[in-house]
Amino acid sequence: MSKVDVSISKAGTVDFDKIREDFPVLSQQVNGHPLVYLDNGASSQMPAQVADRLDYYHRFEHSNVHRGIHTLSQQATDEYELTRKKIQAFINARHSEEIIYTTGTTDSINLVANSFGSLHFKEGDEIILSQMEHHANIVPWQMIAERTGAIIKVIPVDDRGDLDMEAYKNLLADKTKMVAIIHVSNALGTVNPAKEITDLAHESGAAVLIDGAQSAPHQVIDVQDIDCDFFTFSAHKMCGPTGFGILYGKKEILDEMPPYRGGGDMIDKVSFEETTYNVTPFKFEAGTPPIAAGIGLGSAVDYLNSIGMDEISRREHELVAYGVERLKRVDGLRFIGESENRASVISFVFDEIHASDMGTLLDKRGIAVRTGHHCAQPILRRFNVPATTRASLSFYNSKEDIDRLVDGIEYVKSFFE
Ligand code: 7TS
């Protein structure tokens, strides 16, 4: 067994049929049918290269990080810290200290809401969110708003699923301290104009957090180009393991933020009289972290880079366009979210068929989709639906997967005729 991560040719066009073979999970039968995995928005699958890397770590490299002077601990620390550099390059951050390790997007947003919020928010200050946020980018802000007296303002979404940018401009005010926006909607697929949102917020003196949970796995991310102050994402949605994620923050802003959790590793000196803190990023990383998962994310980034995020994005756009073309011919199907700028997600409803029936019956044919409110209840309420069926795609999906989905939907419909 080796530590070598990836061996996919980058020359010319990428052979996505071959890439699919990297994902052993996809060659399984589910309920007697070959698996069609269309729930990548919830969690993507892991290629063998990343699974092998995790296995290698557990078998031969495991040790605690940042503490031991023994060789194994130093090796584990080096491998774990290497991920910071890989992520720095992956999102084009200026410094590797701007990459904070967290347990995922939810944790990253809670960190910013608590630490930045407790430092900067006061009574009457305003936080701007959008109607299409995931609950992870709503509830932490509500909690800090309650503690500080800040107020939440919401950008409405139009019938196609795009942000009302005029309404956004009107919401921005001197009192706006934070604009926290989803980059790609997990419920609609809309790709929001992160750079324009950020520029406008900065003109008003507000900080910006971009929730990149659904964008980082699917497109090139350049945080310096967006110029956002914070950017968040999760390893498990980008071919990596669960339990690990990233908070990017501009160094000067992170430096002045207080730690969010106390404990080992995040300190400089501790006494009962006074404790001083470690520097950024370590002051935000208390306790023993998920070391294997961190190394696994590094391996996942190597894997994605070996294909190329531009290739991944092109492939997924092709698949979404094909899916929309095929699905719009299905009688009675109504899309929820029809933005011109969409990525990786196709959400739909039928008036006569509840989404959970759709999901359950599709599963009988080996087709995995997510149904429900997708932890984005406000946007479903906006569209007057309690639930949708969501197919969320990855680069390893194929047109055949979409054909199977369409056949599956016709099969489900036959029960309700
Ligand atoms: N933000 C967005 C945009 C998301 O899609 C999700 C997870 C999160 C935040 C939270 O990420 P976590 O890794 O901290 O849990 N979205 C989904 C989904 O669409 N289906 O299951 C989880």
Q: For the chain, list residues with pLDDT below 50.
A: 1-11
For position 202, what pLDDT does the model report? Answer: 98
Residues touching ligand 1 (Cβ under 6 Å) are 41-42, 104-106, 134, 136-137, 182, 186, 211, 213-214, 234, 370, 374-375
The catalytic residue among 375, 377, 385, 406 is 375
Residue whose CB lies within 8 A of the most ligand 1 atoms, among 109, 129, 134, for a mutation test? 134
For position 1, what pLDDT does the model report? Answer: 42
The protein residue with its alpha carbon nearest to ligand 1, atom 5, reads: 186
Burial 19-55 (b: 16+ CB within 10 A, else e): bbebbeebeeeeeeeebbbbbbbebbbbbebbbbbbe
Place of tokens 């199907």: 333
Place of tokens 């092998």: 52
In angstroms, the Cα distances linking 161 to 149, 188, 325, 370, 372 are 30, 7, 18, 19, 18
The CATH architecture annotation of domain 53-305 reads 3-Layer(aba) Sandwich (3.40)
Residue 249 CA to ligand 1 centre (angstroms): 19
- Residue 107's φ and ψ, nearest 5 degrees, are -65, -40
Residue whose CB lies within 8 A of the most ligand 1 atoms, among 186, 209, 297, 380, for a mutation test? 186
For position 9, what pLDDT does the model report? Answer: 41
For position 68, what pLDDT does the model report? Answer: 77
Residue 71 CA to ligand 1 centre (angstroms): 37
Convert the pLDDT of each residue in 196-232 to its tens digit.
Answer: 999 999 999 999 999 999 999 999 999 999 999 999 9
375 is known as an active-site residue: yes
Convert the pLDDT of each residue in 78-98 to its tens digit.
Answer: 999 999 999 999 999 999 999
Atom of ligand 1 nearest to the CA of 187: 19
- In 3-state terms the chain splits into helix, strand, coil percentages (rounded to 5) of 45, 20, 40
For position 67, what pLDDT does the model report? Answer: 75
Residue 16 CA to ligand 1 centre (angstroms): 26
Q: Do the Cβ atoms of 380 and 187 come closer than 8 Å?
A: yes
Domain boundaries, the chain: 16-47+308-413, 53-305
What CATH superfamily classification does 16-47+308-413 receive? Aspartate Aminotransferase, domain 1 (3.90.1150.10)
For position 260, what pLDDT does the model report? Answer: 95
For position 27, what pLDDT does the model report? Answer: 96
**β-strand partners of 208:** 179
Residues in Cβ contact with 172 at an 8 Å cutoff, skipping those fewer than 6 apart? 128, 179, 200, 201, 203, 204, 206
Would 16-47+308-413 and 53-305 be classified into the same CATH topology? no
Atom of ligand 1 nearest to the CA of 39: 20
Measured between alpha carbons, how far is 3 from 78 in angstroms, rounded to an integer?
Answer: 14
Measured between alpha carbons, how far is 203 from 215 in angstroms, rounded to an integer?
Answer: 25
- The burial of 10, by beta-carbon neighbours within 10 Å (0-12 exposed, 13-18 middle, 19 or more buried), is given as exposed
